[in-house]
């Protein structure tokens, strides 16, 4: 997800609406609304229980919550370092659906900071990806793996928000998406891309190449991601609801060209 200035404005605009909807369905808990893209899913933080609750009142939102639930189950079954899943409760009824997850220890890293600030976190996440996802042609995937959807606690890495889990993509889809986001999101938000960022990006891209990721993704990721996001049913539904949901679709063309030239240069 990309947090641009408008998102902070919308956060306050939708706060009262989210609270009113929540109270009509659930008890009058002391909750804090969390801003999300317009995706038929609301999120609140239940302060007393220290639990995040995602809920929806329609079928499209419910399907995303179900994907998130199934994705978290799969992820924790593959992650041997974690003894217990963060899933607390999952309820799916005719008129609403919700998922409760524990608040994680650790912190999120700001995705719009330059790669020179975030390099070690991106690299840690890549190593975690290699550990969790099995190498084969078609695999389950996250679909929106940026620093916005990753928690860090010391050496521990945790992927969250699995709403696109049911789709299948090539090995390395999420890894390439993450690395590309590490330079595109800072450029979209702050127009920053230093020589140091370029050097670090080249290092990360070399890691991706050594992971034997499909050449369709590696050679021109913008063309690949644009095609997949628009053709995939789940991804395209979110694209149509929120135009800023996927950074490859809103990265300026001149910056796309610059990144592709770096990828194809002799230095990689």
For residues 22 and 127, membership in a common domain is answered with: no
Q: Which residues, 6 or more positions from 93, have their beta carbon under 8 angstroms from its beta carbon?
A: none
- Which has the minimum average pLDDT: 187-196, 217-226, 238-247? 238-247
> Distance (Å, rounded) from C-alpha 14 to C-alpha 11?
6
Kindly report the pTM of this predicted structure.
0.90
- Report yes or no on 110 lying in a domain: no
The structure tokens listed for 70 are: 């199934």
For residues 212 and 119, membership in a common domain is answered with: yes
How does pLDDT run across 151-170, given as a tens digit for each residue?
999 889 999 999 999 777 78
For residues 95 and 188, membership in a common domain is answered with: no
At 37 the pLDDT is 64
Strand 138-140 to strand 97-102: parallel, antiparallel, or no bridges (unpaired)? unpaired
| Contact predicate 33/19, CB 8 Å | yes
- Which has the minimum average pLDDT: 10-24, 112-126, 209-223? 10-24
Q: Which residues, 6 or more positions from 185, have their beta carbon under 8 angstroms from its beta carbon?
A: 2, 111, 112, 146, 247
9 pLDDT higher than 70: no
247 pLDDT higher than 90: yes
The structure tokens listed for 151 are: 């928690």
The larger pLDDT score, comparing residue 267 to residue 159, is at: 159
Range of the domain at 76: 5-102
For residues 207 and 230, membership in a common domain is answered with: yes
């Amino acid at each position: 997800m990309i947090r641009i200035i408008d998102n902070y404005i919308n956060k306050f605009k939708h706060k009262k609406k989210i609270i009113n909807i929540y109270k009509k369905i659930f008890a009058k808990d002391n909750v804090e609304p969390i801003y999300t893209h317009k995706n038929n899913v609301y999120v609140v933080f239940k302060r007393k229980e220290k639990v995040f609750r995602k809920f929806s009142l329609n079928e499209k939102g419910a399907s995303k919550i179900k994907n998130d639930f199934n994705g978290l189950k799969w992820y924790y079954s593959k992650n041997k370092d974690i003894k217990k899943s963060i899933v607390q409760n999952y309820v799916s009824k005719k008129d609403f659906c919700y998922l409760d997850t524990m608040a994680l220890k650790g912190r999120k890293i700001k995705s719009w900071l330059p790669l020179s600030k975030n390099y070690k976190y991106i690299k840690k996440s890549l190593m975690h990806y290699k550990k969790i996802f099995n190498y084969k042609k078609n695999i389950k995937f996250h679909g929106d793996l940026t620093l916005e959807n990753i928690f860090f606690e010391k050496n521990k890495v945790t992927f969250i928000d699995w709403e696109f889990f049911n789709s299948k993509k090539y090995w390395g889809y999420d890894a390439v998406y993450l690395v590309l986001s590490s330079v595109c999101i800072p450029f979209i938000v702050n127009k920053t891309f230093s020589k140091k960022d370029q050097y670090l990006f080249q290092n990360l891209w070399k890691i991706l190449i050594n992971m034997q990721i499909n050449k369709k993704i590696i050679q021109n990721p913008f063309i690949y991601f644009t095609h997949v996001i628009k053709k995939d049913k789940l991804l395209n539904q979110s694209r149509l609801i929120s135009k800023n949901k996927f950074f490859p679709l809103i990265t300026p063309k001149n910056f796309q060209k610059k990144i592709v030239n770096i990828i194809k240069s002799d230095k990689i």
